[in-house]
Amino acid sequence: MNCRVNLIELVILWIACGLQAVAQTATPVLATPAATSNLSFIDTSIENASPLYWELDEAGETQVYLLYDHERDSPNRAAGHWHFRVEGKPKANVRLVLNNFRNVWNGKTGVPVSEKSIAYISTDGKNWQVVNAKLLPPGDRVELNLELPDSGSLFVARLPPYRLSDLEQFQNEIREHPLVRFEEIGKTVQGRSLEIISIGKPTAPHRVFLRGRAHPWEPGGNWVIEGLVRRLLAGDADSLRFLTRFNVAILPLANKDGVAAGRTRFNMLGKDLNRNWDLPANEHLCPENYALEKWLERAIAEGRKPHMALELHNDESGKLHVSRPEGMDHQTYLGRMARFEELLREKTWFREGSTNASFKNAGTLGEGWLVRYGIPAAVHELNCNWIEGLQDYPSSKNWKLYGSQLCEVLETYFDENK
Ligand SMILES: [Zn+2]
């Protein structure tokens, strides 16, 4: 009996092994791409284009796969920037599905798109209009339905882009102005020059520092900075008065390499430029922050410590991040931030509010500069989907307006904090 069972088992084993061998050597079944499509090409040769690959699936739909950028020594990864040019038949409809929004942030899975997400299209790469970005099940894909113009070519972006060439053009425009100074403070990982732009008189009684674009997908801060600088240099009575009260030092585009490469969040060596400010910056992994830290320490040693610092970002909330780090008396700082927020509400379109009483985020520039240097500093997010105070979508125009409105906020804030 036992022999007979063993024989049957052997036969079954032999058949199973044979089937496995067949399975291992079988040719994989590949989806057959659709033969025709209204889409000719997705062009990622343009400046600040997002790295991606794409394919036409069997249904003739275009699947676009964004590439993640990764943080060093961390599970964190990010893909949230999209910017490319669609080429196809004139006036044709093209449906794209964007994939790979399974980001990891602060060690947790998170999706950077929602029901509120929007996208922008442009025929010339300069003038942008909002289109719907439809969230698809299970909530980690986005559908874009596009109608190509007569030219058959359409730029598509997550937010109105602010490229390195936009910054260079703006800097060239203001470079010779008598109230503007440039100081090279260091270089990025890839050797791009980092410059602090100073506006106003060195002898002004108050000093404010602004940094934009630690995170490449977030261009809002660049438009705000441009609006603020243009207002300060307008040459009218108000702007001349602002500059008797305060001067401004700006690092406009901290993550130049990331913007050039169309990345989402980290520098080219996987460092988040809005993290690790609780410790001295690593010169080799994070030269962008090292250069800024050295500039700040020189400024402090020479008696030019900023009286306020704002770190500009984009997210889906748009709040002022007021940190309450452990082990320090926050009362003076909280009082100043509360007044600053009041003035934002009074003199600008800001309505998004500030973080709650338990908020802290060690390592951000806001909290790091407060703890290490005693500078009233905050991360200022700008809502990437909607501007409540204007009942309008974000745009370069609306963000530049905010920058110009900030001048009056700063004037009153500093007048009250003598
Ligand atoms: Zn950010």
Q: Is residue 237 part of a domain?
A: yes
Do 65 and 111 fall into the same domain? yes
Q: Is residue 2 part of a domain?
A: no
- For residue 1, report the distance from its CA to the centre of ligand 1, in Å: 73
- For residue 106, report the distance from its CA to the centre of ligand 1, in Å: 13
The model's pLDDT over 378-404, given as tens digits with 9 standing for 90+, comes to 999 999 999 999 999 999 999 999 999
Q: What is the mean pLDDT of residues 276-299?
A: 98
Q: What is the mean pLDDT of residues 356-366?
A: 93
Structure tokens at 34: 């659709």
Neighbours of ion ligand 1 (CB under 5 A): 215, 218, 313
pLDDT over 70 at 147, yes or no: yes
Strand partners, 248: 199, 208
Q: Is residue 22 part of a domain?
A: no
- For residue 311, report the distance from its CA to the centre of ligand 1, in Å: 9
Please, are residues 264 and 215 in contact by the beta-carbon 8 Å criterion?
Answer: yes
Please, are residues 344 and 320 in contact by the beta-carbon 8 Å criterion?
Answer: yes
Of residues 21 and 313, more confidence is placed in: 313
Torsions phi, psi of 2, nearest 5?
Answer: -60, -40
**Which residue range(s) make up the domain with 147?**
39-157
Residue ending a domain, choose from 157, 179, 195: 157
- Quick one: pLDDT at residue 227? 98
- Quick one: pLDDT at residue 9? 61
Share of the chain above pLDDT 90, in %: 87
- Quick one: pLDDT at residue 417? 83
Please, are residues 230 and 169 in contact by the beta-carbon 8 Å criterion?
Answer: no
- Quick one: pLDDT at residue 17? 46
Q: Is residue 12 part of a domain?
A: no
The model's pLDDT over 41-97, given as tens digits with 9 standing for 90+, comes to 999 999 999 999 999 888 778 999 999 999 999 999 999 999 999 999 999 999 999
CATH of the domain at 383: 3.40.630.10
Do 174 and 141 fall into the same domain? no
- For residue 132, report the distance from its CA to the centre of ligand 1, in Å: 23
- For residue 55, report the distance from its CA to the centre of ligand 1, in Å: 30
Do 375 and 407 fall into the same domain? yes
Do 198 and 336 fall into the same domain? yes
Residue ending a domain, choose from 105, 123, 157: 157
Number of domains in the chain: 2
Do 114 and 170 fall into the same domain? no
- For residue 113, report the distance from its CA to the centre of ligand 1, in Å: 14
CA distance 211 to 222: 9
- For residue 380, report the distance from its CA to the centre of ligand 1, in Å: 9
Do 334 and 408 fall into the same domain? yes
CA distance 305 to 296: 7
pLDDT over 70 at 15, yes or no: no
- For residue 214, report the distance from its CA to the centre of ligand 1, in Å: 7
- Quick one: pLDDT at residue 21? 47
Using N-to-C axis directions, what is the helix angle for 220-232 and 164-174, rounded to 10°? 10
- For residue 227, report the distance from its CA to the centre of ligand 1, in Å: 20
- For residue 157, report the distance from its CA to the centre of ligand 1, in Å: 17
- For residue 30, report the distance from its CA to the centre of ligand 1, in Å: 39
Residue ending a domain, choose from 108, 132, 157: 157
- For residue 20, report the distance from its CA to the centre of ligand 1, in Å: 50
Do 265 and 333 fall into the same domain? yes
Q: Is residue 3 part of a domain?
A: no
CB proximity list for 65: less than 8 A, separation 6 or greater: 52, 53, 54, 99, 100
- Per-residue confidence at 328, pLDDT binned at 50, 70, 90? confident
The model's pLDDT over 290-324, given as tens digits with 9 standing for 90+, comes to 999 999 999 999 999 999 999 999 999 999 999 99
Do 98 and 205 fall into the same domain? no
Half-sphere exposure of 231 (CA within 13 A, CB side): 24
pLDDT over 60 at 138, yes or no: yes
- Quick one: pLDDT at residue 1? 42
Q: Is residue 26 part of a domain?
A: no
Q: Count other C-beta atoms under 10 Å from residue 65's C-beta.
A: 15
Question: Which contiguous run of DSSP H or E holds residue 347?
Answer: helix 331-347
CATH of the domain at 140: 2.60.40.3120
Q: Is residue 400 part of a domain?
A: yes
- For residue 213, report the distance from its CA to the centre of ligand 1, in Å: 8
Do 55 and 191 fall into the same domain? no
Share of the chain above pLDDT 70, in %: 91
pLDDT over 90 at 364, yes or no: yes
CA distance 294 to 281: 9
Do 112 and 44 fall into the same domain? yes
- Per-residue confidence at 22, pLDDT binned at 50, 70, 90? very low
- Per-residue confidence at 363, pLDDT binned at 50, 70, 90? very high
- Quick one: pLDDT at residue 3? 44
- For residue 407, report the distance from its CA to the centre of ligand 1, in Å: 23
Do 351 and 202 fall into the same domain? yes
pLDDT over 50 at 5, yes or no: no
- For residue 314, report the distance from its CA to the centre of ligand 1, in Å: 6
- For residue 200, report the distance from its CA to the centre of ligand 1, in Å: 28
Of residues 36 and 186, more confidence is placed in: 186
Do 169 and 153 fall into the same domain? no
The model's pLDDT over 105-126, given as tens digits with 9 standing for 90+, comes to 988 999 999 999 999 999 999 9
Structure tokens at 16: 């199973």
What average pLDDT does the chain have? 93
Q: Is residue 103 part of a domain?
A: yes
